[in-house]
């Protein structure tokens, strides 16, 4: 009798616990809303902030009327960094070798030694060196009007690939362009 009562009590506690933990028809569900929370990353924002518009990501295509094109050359500067040189050292060690022949009282053991050479290398700092550091990579940009057919979306800049930039240059102004941007803004 006591076992049945204990089993029923444990079952009731488990059902109540699982019901509280399950999110069945939760009205605070993030599906279908403009808000999302990524548990694995801390972006410094609050949990209820809207995520950036994903329409400008590299996996979606955009279209609109060609407005302007812009080529931004790479910006570089001279900088110094530690020069790392390879330093090697050779080492030797004496290795003992043995072989045995026969068995019992007729067993003979022969021992000889050989020298093995090993080379170990590591990188060590040896002064500094000057190099060209890229501050901003080369960028090709296209500006569109009426993005996605929305007349209020004018002068929106996109960073594009070199081939998409060449197509935009070859297209007359205010003609429809369709491309996949690398990034939004320029």
**Model confidence over 65-97: pLDDT tens digits?**
888 888 999 999 999 999 999 999 999 999 999
Helix (H) or strand (E) holding 144: strand 139-145
pLDDT at 1: 60
In a shared domain, residues 172 and 151: yes
* Residue 102 within any structural domain of the chain: yes
The total of structural domains in the chain comes to 2
Structure tokens at 96: 């003992």
In a shared domain, residues 129 and 145: no
Range of lowest pLDDT (8-17, 66-75, 123-132): 8-17
In a shared domain, residues 179 and 90: no
In a shared domain, residues 69 and 159: yes
Residue 17 DSSP SS3: helix
pLDDT at 151: 76
* Residue 97 within any structural domain of the chain: yes
In a shared domain, residues 58 and 143: yes
Helix (H) or strand (E) holding 2: helix 2-21
- Strand ordering across the sheet containing 176-179: 176-179, 62-72, 139-145, 156-160, 183-184
Full domain range(s) for residue 151: 54-73+138-184
pLDDT at 54: 39
More confident residue, 57 or 9: 9
* Residue 59 within any structural domain of the chain: yes
More confident residue, 146 or 27: 146
pLDDT at 20: 57
Q: Which residues of 128-144 are buried (b: 16+ CB within 10 A; e: fewer)?
A: eeeeeeeeeeebbbbbb
In a shared domain, residues 69 and 83: no
Structure tokens at 122: 């590591």
* Residue 176 within any structural domain of the chain: yes
* Residue 69 within any structural domain of the chain: yes
8 A C-beta contact, residue 36 and residue 53:
no
pTM tops 0.75 = no
């Amino acid at each position: 009798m006591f076992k049945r009562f204990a089993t029923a009590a444990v079952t009731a506690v488990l059902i109540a616990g699982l019901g509280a933990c399950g999110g069945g028809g939760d009205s605070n569900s993030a599906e279908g809303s403009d808000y999302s929370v990524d548990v694995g990353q801390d972006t410094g924002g609050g949990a209820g902030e809207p995520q950036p518009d994903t329409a400008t990501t590299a996996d979606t295509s955009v279209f609109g009327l060609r407005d302007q094109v812009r080529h931004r050359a790479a910006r570089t500067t001279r900088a110094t960094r530690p020069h790392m040189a390879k330093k090697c050292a050779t080492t030797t060690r004496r290795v003992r070798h043995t072989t045995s022949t026969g068995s019992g009282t007729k067993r003979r053991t022969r021992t000889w030694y050989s020298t093995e050479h090993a080379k170990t290398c590591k990188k060590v700092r040896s002064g500094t060196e000057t190099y060209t550091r890229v501050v901003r990579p080369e960028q090709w940009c296209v500006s569109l009007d009426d993005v996605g057919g929305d007349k209020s979306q004018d002068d929106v800049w996109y960073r594009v690939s070199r081939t998409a930039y060449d197509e935009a240059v070859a297209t007359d102004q205010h003609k429809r362009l369709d491309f996949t941007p690398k990034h939004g803004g320029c």
